[in-house]
């Protein structure tokens, strides 16, 4: 029996690496797409990259969309390029990846797509205008995809990462400690839980944070 394929779009960073280990240990074949592989905001490049993985490993069972762009600055210092980068890494890239894997999922009548959100998916904070614009868009896309494709057997979920991830550069950047940050592997386990839920009890959105994180 061929192992199910989990495709991680945005496989770099501590969460991308944790997702790869989590799904590999669970018996999945794992393939990753990084910026060096293709520009996810380029629809043709993304379609070609996904098609290459399908030819090598078979159809995509789980899409884990983990790409993102961090742009933090006062609003008047954020330029169009900052907003474009957050939009491209958010809903634009996610839509291209979904468009690339959906035909195979629809043909088989099953599939899972899990999208990575952030605190900025829920509220736009000072200095986070560009990131919030992208993450709000990604959350809206995930909701629309869930409502359109759930009747076709495709589970779409959105994960709000409400805090920092242990080992990420942002921990130092924002003056936090590893003790205040989430363990990437534990976060990755939540993604696998979502991806393996039975159709009789699907979750669309969860939020994850440490016990010390205010919300």
- CB-CB contact of 171 with 177 (8 Å): yes
What rounded mean pLDDT belongs to the chain? 95
Average pLDDT over residues 93-118: 98
- CB-CB contact of 5 with 106 (8 Å): no
Compute the 3-state secondary structure of the chain and give helix, strand, coil in percent, each to the nearest 5.
50, 20, 35
- CB-CB contact of 134 with 89 (8 Å): yes
Q: What is the pLDDT of residues 69-82, one digit of tens each?
A: 999 999 999 999 99
Q: What is the pLDDT of residues 135-162, one digit of tens each?
A: 999 999 999 999 999 999 999 999 999 9
Sorted by where each starts, the structural domains of the chain and their CATH numbers stand as 5-160+186-208 (3.40.50.720)
Host H or E run for residue 30: strand 29-33
Name which of 155, 145, 166 is nearest 208 in CA terms: 166
Q: Is residue 170 scored above 90 in pLDDT?
A: no
**Cβ atoms within 10 Å, residue 200:** 5
Quickly state the pLDDT bin for 1 (edges 50, 70, 90): low
Q: Is residue 178 scored above 80 in pLDDT?
A: no
Instruction: Give backbone dihedrals phi and psi of 79, rounded to 5 degrees, phi first.
Output: -105, 175
143 exposure class (CB count in 10 Å sphere: 0-12, 13-18, 19+): middle
Classify 113 as helix, strand or coil: strand
Q: Quick one: DSSP state of residue 89?
A: I
């Amino acid at each position: 029996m061929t192992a199910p394929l989990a495709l991680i779009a945005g496989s770099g960073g501590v969460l991308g690496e944790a997702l790869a280990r989590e799904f590999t240990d669970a018996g999945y074949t794992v393939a990753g797409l990084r910026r060096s592989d293709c520009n996810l905001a380029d629809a043709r490049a993304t379609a070609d990259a996904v098609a290459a993985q399908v030819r090598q490993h078979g159809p995509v069972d789980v899409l884990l969309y983990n790409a993102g762009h961090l742009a933090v600055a006062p609003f008047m210092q954020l330029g169009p390029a900052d907003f474009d980068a957050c939009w491209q890494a958010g809903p634009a890239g996610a839509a291209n990846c979904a468009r690339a894997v959906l035909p195979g999922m629809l043909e088989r009548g099953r599939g899972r797509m899990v999208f990575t959100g952030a605190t900025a998916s829920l509220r736009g904070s000072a200095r986070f205008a560009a990131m919030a614009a992208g993450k709000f868009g990604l959350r809206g896309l995930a909701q629309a995809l869930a409502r359109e494709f759930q009747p076709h057997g495709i589970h779409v979920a959105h994960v709000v990462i409400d805090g920092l991830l242990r080992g990420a550069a942002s921990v130092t950047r924002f003056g936090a400690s590893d003790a205040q940050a989430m363990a990437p592997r534990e976060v990755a386990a939540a993604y696998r839980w979502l991806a393996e839920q039975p159709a009789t009890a699907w979750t669309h959105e969860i939020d994850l944070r440490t016990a010390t994180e205010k919300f």
